[in-house]
Each structure stands twice: as structure tokens, then as C-alpha cells.
């Protein structure tokens, strides 16, 4: 039986690294960070869409090694706010903002919204590339609601505010395995693995 080739993750985001490493352990998929990524020239994430940014990162870092490199771009979209923070999710409260400041800004922007007005969704697009050429861009999405105050100590980003009705918990209240099983990132990654299995 053919084995899945090693996939190199083009990211220095600790939260993403943890989630993909967890997937590697449970799914038996060999994942490694792009070697020396911190010392490589950074990729400017100035695309207008999640797919554009994922493609830019995958293409950029895949030129530094002869292997399969994948990058994801993901974020939170609040329907009532016209889709923001969107591609600026990590920088919503400023270029140097942390998760806490981003969450605080989101809550302030959504002040007074109730019920279905608090609907939101996470989007993740993964781009897989080799030697500067994109091979596939699977996407994942998960729908939920933004709470008025954070709950839970897990996850990262907007997870303490993102309530997932089918499980009755925020993403920050789920175990890593539970979250990856239902999340936007998990869905996109499983689609990536489906592509790789077809290519064997």
C-alpha cells in the first residue's frame, strides 16, 4: 500500500502548527514544517481572498525545497459585518494585534447585535504546491455564532467566541480532536488528503 508523502507546512503560526501536528498524529500523515522557515524571506500576504493568500504562500515556500508544500489561509467572516474580519482576521485590531485584542475589537463591533445577527463562519483554503506550481486548493467552511463573551481555554484566534451549535460548545471548549473533526481547517485538510490518495 502506498504511503502518503511527507507534507511540508509553510507556517510559523503556533496554533496552526499544533492543529496540523495533531492531525498528523491521528491520521498517520507525515507533516513537517518547512525547514528553516523563520530564516527564509517572508511571503507578503496581501491577497484579496483566502485562496489568493494560500496560493502565494505555497508557491513562495515551495521554491525552497523539492517537496510537497502546503499553506493555508483562514479566517472568520461575520455576515452582519459584511464578511469582516475576513482575510484580515489575524490583523483585525492592527498589525501587531494579538488574539485578545482582535476578540475585543470584534465584540465591540458586534455590540447590540442579537440572535441570528451574530451568525458567522470560518473559512479555510489550503494550497498545495511543488516547485512553485499550485496543484490543488481545497476549501473548508464551518458555520456558527459569535457569543457576547469568551468561553473556553483551548484553540486560538476567535475560538473562544465561536459557538458551534451542533456540539453546544465554542471551539475553545472542544478538544483538539473534536475541533479538527468539525472545523474548517479539518474539512480542507481531509479534502487535501483525498486529492493525494487519488494521485497515488
| % of the chain surpassing 70 pLDDT | 96
Whether 199 shows a pLDDT value over 70: the answer reads: no
The per-residue pLDDT for 200 is 54
For 9-25, the pLDDT digits (tens) are 998 888 888 888 888 77
For residue 29, name the pLDDT band (cuts at 50, 70, 90).
confident
C-alpha cell at 1: 500500500
Report how far residue 100's alpha carbon sits from residue 199's, in angstroms, rounded to the nearest whole number: 41
Is this structure's pTM higher than 0.95? no
* DSSP helix/strand/coil, 169: strand
Whether 4 shows a pLDDT value over 90: the answer reads: no
For 128-172, the pLDDT digits (tens) are 999 999 999 999 999 999 999 999 999 999 999 999 999 999 999
Whether 1 shows a pLDDT value over 50: the answer reads: no
For residue 58, name the pLDDT band (cuts at 50, 70, 90).
very high
Catalytic residue, candidates 72, 73, 99, 159: 73
Of the candidates 158, 159, 157, 189, the residue with the CA atom closest to the CA atom of residue 174? 159
Of the candidates 200, 128, 178, 168, the residue with the CA atom closest to the CA atom of residue 23? 178
The per-residue pLDDT for 61 is 97
Domains and CATH numbers, the chain: 7-199 (3.90.950.10)
Q: Is 188 left (phi over 0), alpha (psi -120 to 50) or beta?
A: alpha
Q: How far is CA 86 from the centre of its chain?
A: 12
Q: For residue 98, indicate whether it is catalytic.
A: no
Whether 33 shows a pLDDT value over 80: the answer reads: yes
Query: For helices 14-27 and 184-199, what crossing angle results, to 10°?
Result: 50
Amino acid at each position: 500500500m502506498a504511503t502518503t508523502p511527507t507534507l511540508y507546512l509553510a507556517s510559523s503560526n503556533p496554533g496552526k502548527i499544533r492543529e496540523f501536528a495533531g492531525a498528523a498524529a491521528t491520521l498517520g500523515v507525515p507533516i513537517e514544517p518547512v525547514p528553516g522557515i523563520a530564516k527564509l524571506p517572508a511571503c507578503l500576504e496581501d491577497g484579496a481572498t483566502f485562496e489568493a493568500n494560500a496560493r502565494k504562500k505555497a508557491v513562495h515556500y515551495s521554491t525552497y525545497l523539492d517537496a510537497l508544500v502546503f499553506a493555508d489561509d483562514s479566517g472568520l467572516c461575520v455576515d452582519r459585518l459584511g464578511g469582516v474580519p475576513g482575510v484580515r482576521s489575524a490583523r483585525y485590531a492592527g498589525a501587531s494585534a494579538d488574539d485578545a485584542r482582535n476578540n475585543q475589537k470584534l465584540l465591540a463591533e458586534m455590540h447590540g447585535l442579537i440572535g441570528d445577527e451574530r451568525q458567522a463562519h470560518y473559512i479555510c483554503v489550503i494550497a498545495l504546491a511543488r516547485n512553485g506550481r499550485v496543484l490543488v486548493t481545497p476549501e473548508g467552511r464551518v458555520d456558527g455564532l459569535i457569543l457576547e463573551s469568551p468561553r473556553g481555554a483551548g484553540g486560538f484566534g476567535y475560538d473562544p467566541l465561536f459557538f458551534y451549535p451542533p456540539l453546544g460548545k465554542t471551539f475553545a471548549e472542544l478538544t483538539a480532536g473534536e475541533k479538527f473533526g468539525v472545523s474548517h481547517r479539518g474539512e480542507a485538510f481531509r479534502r487535501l488528503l483525498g486529492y493525494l490518495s487519488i494521485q497515488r
